[in-house]
Amino acid sequence: MIVTITPNPALDVTYHVPSLTPGGEHRVQHMYVRPGGKGINTAKVLTQLGEQAVATGFSGGANGEDMIQLLDQDRVPHSFVQAMHPTRRTVSIIDPVNGATLFNEPGKERTPHEWNELIELLKDMETPDLFTVNGSFPPGTSEETVRHLYRELLATGTTVLVDTSHDPLRWAIEEGVHAVKPNQHELADLVGSDTEDVRTSITRLLEHVHFVVASRGSQGMIAQVRGGEAVEVPAAKFVVGNPTGAGDSVVASLARSIVRDGLDAAHQPDVLRAWVADAIALSAATVAAPVAGEFDEATYRELLSEEAQ
């Protein structure tokens, strides 16, 4: 079982329009309302893959109720803490020229009591095979709160995979979580250099964590486990669609691979290459789907078939 933790979930609204004109009036061609947030997207993709996943985090107000109802409709198992403030919303506007234009509400600060409830909820669960911590933290979340969450997860002895940014990512690395998935810009922020080679930056992170996968957009991904070789895999062919949630599918793929094979299997270059190739294919197939948290199965199979040739 994989438990995904979304500290700042959302109710996602996606509009598809024929064109986007600032200040203009737009006729929406298609509209989708889905439960959102990076960990929820990861749990939805894992469920679509046939994996056992549980989405957790905070839920509040009417938006939170809608989010829970939609997760039930998608048959995604979940366990959320009822929060005082409402769940935020995000809006994605998709048009053929600009792609995705995003409007993300910041969310509301969670109280110490609510954070304690979440940690107790996680501790009371049947111990999973892997935890993921995905996305931003609510505004005002203290360093001690974030570090405490990481420490409690690590204390279970379960593998912890983190996909966040800025200080929460830095704190995750300093606390020694098992795996992180930064992009190249986050890597530069972590090491304090825009010019340092990605492989060198990964090596520096491996002094604290066991496994790093760095996404580089159109250049693909580089992955390395501590004591192992770096493996570089090129990006998949260009796929037109909605890129929102593509990185969350990378986390879903990595989580599934780690649970299936064990983290130490990443010392085998062929195994690690297969992990990354699968993550890239699943990410591209997510772009081909209309909304985040889903993937186009035909595209996924096609890209995996091309990689195998």
Whole-number pLDDT of residue 285: 93
Whole-number pLDDT of residue 24: 87
Is residue 63 within 8 Å of residue 78, measured between CB atoms? Answer: no
Whole-number pLDDT of residue 255: 98
Whole-number pLDDT of residue 308: 62
The 8 Å CB, 24+ separation contacts for 30-34 are: 30/290, 32/290, 32/291, 33/66, 33/70, 34/70, 34/291, 34/292, 34/293
This prediction has a pTM of 0.92
Is residue 296 within 8 Å of residue 242, measured between CB atoms? Answer: no
Please give the helix or strand (H or E) that residue 187 lies within, else none.
Answer: helix 184-191
**Terminal alpha carbon distance of the chain:** 32
Convert the pLDDT of each residue in 129-184 to its tens digit. 999 999 999 999 999 999 999 999 999 999 999 999 999 999 999 999 999 999 98
> Dmax over Cα atoms in the chain, in whole Å?
56
What stretches in the chain show pLDDT beneath 50?
Answer: none
Cβ contacts of residue 208 below 8 Å, gap of 6+?
A: 173, 174, 176
Whole-number pLDDT of residue 239: 76
Whole-number pLDDT of residue 309: 59
Whole-number pLDDT of residue 112: 95
- Under DSSP, the state recorded for 183 is B
